[in-house]
Amino acid sequence: MTDGSRQDWLQAAAASVLAGWIRLCLKTMRWTEENRAAAERVWASGGGVVVCFWHSRIALSAACWPLDGRAQEPRALISRSRDGQFFAGVAGKLGFPAIRGSSGKATRKGVKEKGGAAAFRDVLRWIRDGGGVAITPDGPRGPVERMGEGPVLLARVSRVPVLLVGLAGRPAIRLGTWDKAVVPLPFAKGAIVWSDAFTVGEVDDAAAEAAAWGERLKALTRRAEALVA
């Protein structure tokens, strides 16, 4: 076995272990939910949807989307980095196959990141066909809880509804990563707070619009954290 294949095998094994741990934790956590009805209306519509939550909440995110046919089939937009490869493996095992790329550097004039333009087209095609896509708008490298312009551009072009989701778990492990990622523990308290769904028309200032979305998502996340305090 070559060094590369050995590393790939170890990464795949680690992704399986982490996915199994997350699945156990999410199943045993005691969940509090707010504004679920807004999400249910989107699920029942059968149309495409963009879902945003912060990068630090990836390990909690599978709890906010049904995988039993009641909602749109989801995809996760995950960066093309090596770390992204690992998280793509975890997400796939949790029922969220990945579209590889990043929305963080998308602008009105295009998508700057290598591979980003192709990912943007793939996501656009997916949601226009009635799928759901999960985006961490401060990923893949931050700054923490700062919304990039990519989701705004995607929503403007696609005209599909957007749901912002605040997620929290306590007690939880906080990793030493750039985003201080939250890893749940079994039988912990968890909270999910959905925004009302909204659509985007013409946007004069994508950066200002992204900043406004970011403040809303921060507020939802802080509300989720208060629910588990």
Domains and CATH numbers, the chain: 3-228 (3.40.1130)
Identify the pLDDT of residue 149: 93
Helices 3-28 and 82-93, axial angle in degrees (round to 10): 50
For the stretch 54-89, pLDDT in tens is 999 999 999 999 999 999 999 999 988 777 888 899
| Token pair recorded at residue 142 | 């931050």
Closest CA to 29 of 194, 169, 167, 183: 169
Which DSSP state fits 145? T
| Phi, psi (rounded to 5 degrees) for 162 | -115, 135
In terms of pLDDT, which residue wins out, 212 or 80?
212
The pLDDT value given to residue 103? 52
Q: Are 186 and 139 in contact (CB under 8 A)?
A: no
Contact between 46 and 121 under an 8 Å Cβ cutoff? The reply is: no
Beta pairing class for 182-194 and 162-174: antiparallel
Which pLDDT score is estimated for 115?
60
Nearest Cα neighbor of 26 from 137, 192, 221, 175 is 192
| Pairing outcome for strands 49-52 and 132-135 | parallel
pTM of the model: 0.90
The arithmetic mean of pLDDT across residues 159-166, rounded, is 97
Find all residues with CB under 8 Å of 84, minimum gap 6, and list them: 78, 98, 100, 140
Average pLDDT over every residue of 31-52: 97
Compute the mean pLDDT over every residue in the chain, rounded to the nearest whole number.
91
Farthest CA pair distance, the chain = 54
